[in-house]
Structure formats: C-alpha cells, structure tokens
Amino acid sequence: MNLVDYLKTIPKPTPTETGEREKLKIFLVTARKSSKIGLLLIGLPSLLISIFILQALFHFKFGFIQWLGGNTFSLPTPAKAVLIFVFLVGFPMIAMVLNLLSLSHFQFDERSREFRATFRIRWWNIVIALAGGALATFYILRILADTLLGGR
C-alpha cells in the first residue's frame, strides 16, 4: 500500500462546533462610549467643586453659585442633601463603574463549563475610573470630616 492510498482511507477529522450557543461573550459597555460618559459625569461635579474652591480662596462672586444658593431654599434640607450627594458622589461612582465595566470582558464556554473574565488595558478608561473614585472619595471624606469635627 502506498502513501496516497493510505491517506485516502484514513478518516477525516471533523471540526468542533463553536457556535454562538456554546459560547457567551459579554461586552457590557464599549470603551469609547463609556469614556465620553465618564468625562461628563466627572467633569460636572469637578467643575462645581472647583468653582466652590475658587470662591472660597479668592472671594469671587460667581452668579451661578449665588443663583444656586438662592433658589435651593425652597427644597427641604434632606432633599438638598440627597441631590448634592447624588451629584457629587453618585455621578463619579457611576463613571468609575462604567469605565471598569468597559475594560472587562466576560466569556462563558458551555462545553468546558468555564467562565473567563479578562481585563483590557485602556489607559484613558483607567484614568477616568481612578478620577471618579478619587472625586467621590474626596467628597465622602469631606462629609466625614465635617461630621466628626463639628463643621457647619
């Protein structure tokens, strides 16, 4: 028997099926979209905080801050506290979570019953996630310091 006849008689291998049913890939958020949303959610509170810091340091009178202080008296104090907390802590935390989810990639393979989580390195999203965490932590620590030290 020669080699050509032998190769014709051996069984041909069948490829394994890698259909969409067997693997579940989850991309929770795209990196580009989450970085744009994250910049907005971090930019607005940090702009407000920097305006407050400039007003306190240099005694500037910004019209927006006077309007904000004058028009929020109609709200009860707990509602004001919740709105400020959501704006200054919630927005950066949402930005941090969105950017961390955009870096992650989850895959489940039913055939081998494996769940894989991988994280991509995208520096822009990492910087936004760290900035969101830092901004939220800054404001939470300020609230704690005011409460513990008897601030206004």
Tell me the residue range of the domain where 127 lies. 19-147
Give the model confidence (pLDDT) of 23-55 as tens digits: 445 555 677 888 888 899 999 888 888 888 888
Give the model confidence (pLDDT) of 83-109 as tens digits: 888 888 899 999 998 888 888 877 877
Counting the structural domains of the chain, the total is 1
Query: Cα–Cα distance between 87 and 93 in angstroms, integer?
Result: 10
**147: confidence class by pLDDT, cuts 50, 70, 90:** confident
Q: Is the pLDDT of residue 16 over 50?
A: yes
Query: Cα–Cα distance between 149 and 142 in angstroms, integer?
Result: 10
Tokens read off for 40? 């907005």
Report yes or no on 4 lying in a domain: no
Report yes or no on 10 lying in a domain: no
Phi first, then psi, for residue 122 (nearest 5°) are: -130, 105
Q: b vs e for 98-119, b when ≥16 Cβ sit within 10 Å of the residue's Cβ?
A: bbbbbbeeeeeeeeeeeeeeee
Report yes or no on 5 lying in a domain: no
Report yes or no on 9 lying in a domain: no
